[in-house]
Amino acid sequence: MTRRTLMGAMALAPLAATAARKEWKPQLGILGNYTVGNVEFAHSLGYTNMILGVGSGAALDAAKVTPAQIDSVKQTLARNSIGVSALEVVLNHTDPDPGKRASNNDYFVKAIELAGALGVPFIGTMSGNNPAQPFLKQVDEIVRVYHDKYFAACEKYKVRLCWEPWPEGPNVATSPVGYEALFKAFNDSPYVGLQYDPSHFVRQFMDPMQTARDFARYIYDVHLKDTEILWPVLRRGGITPVDHASWWRYRIPGMGCINWAEFFSILQDAGYQGAMSIEHEDPLYGDGTNRGPDFSAEYKVGFVMAKRYLAQYVP
């Protein structure tokens, strides 16, 4: 089955362009762990979407969650009018250790099943990698593992896999070079796409805008995160400073280098109608890492500030 035939059959296709332009109303959301308090907080600020973290030890652990817990999660989301565009699962699909790979693959299938049970259309993840292998051999192995381990479950549960371009993760889907090789090798499979996050391109001195234009048809989900380049530090120490000084940092939208008006214009022009969720890692608000289980008071301020800035673009 090709991307073209399945795209017409599957629901929630975020890149379905319309003949007549209407007011742009994507779902605006936040990323975090599932708790009743976090869902209620998102609703209180007027957010309508969440990306929920899934993993061992998290509130949503795909290996341990029960049907009763799934029903409770669905009821909490419905009561607060919060949709979930994606589950977030970080692991290495092609780990060089056979035991770890098998464990990761098994867990990820359970995550696909969980997404299906919750009615979540996407899973945000990394492509997988094995740095000991040449790049194209890594790509071939990623394709083989996805076909062998995941795509049957994706078809059964109507779930697609989206790569976030996080360069520190187990990932080769971090640049146009990686995207081109992967999408070519997957032969435009409808089950793989992008969870686009422009912040990662900025700190690698790639162009997030042109990359979004070039790969717009593959964008299924969006992270909203900014990157600030600390130019005085960079000019003194370079990108690999001897004193390990930090020359960049993640920020909430509007506090970094990204031209959000241009980025949103690109999404609108492509007909994107999916969700956009703030991935808050801003050190000025709760140090950018306190995601829970319940968000801290300081961390919540970042979402408040981000919502205020984004209101000029998203109703």
For the stretch 195-211, pLDDT in tens is 999 999 999 999 999 99
24-310 CATH pick, 3.30.420.480, 3.20.20.150, 3.40.718.10, 3.40.50.1370: 3.20.20.150
Task: Say what the pLDDT of residue 290 is.
Answer: 65
Taking 90 as the threshold, does the pLDDT of residue 57 lie above it? no
Residue 283 and residue 275: Cα distance in Å, rounded? 24
**Sorting pLDDT into bands at 50, 70 and 90, what band is 6?**
low
Q: Is the pLDDT of residue 151 over 80?
A: yes
pTM exceeds 0.85 for this model:
yes
Model confidence at 288: pLDDT above 80: no
Q: Residues 158-203: pLDDT tens digits?
A: 999 999 999 999 999 999 999 999 999 999 899 999 999 999 999 9
Average pLDDT over residues 34-41: 97
Q: Is the per-residue pLDDT at 11 higher than 60?
A: no
pLDDT band at 286 (very low <50, low <70, confident <90, very high): confident
pLDDT of residue 20: 66
pLDDT score, position 315: 74
Amino acid, single-letter form, for residue 238: G
Share the mean pLDDT of the chain: 93
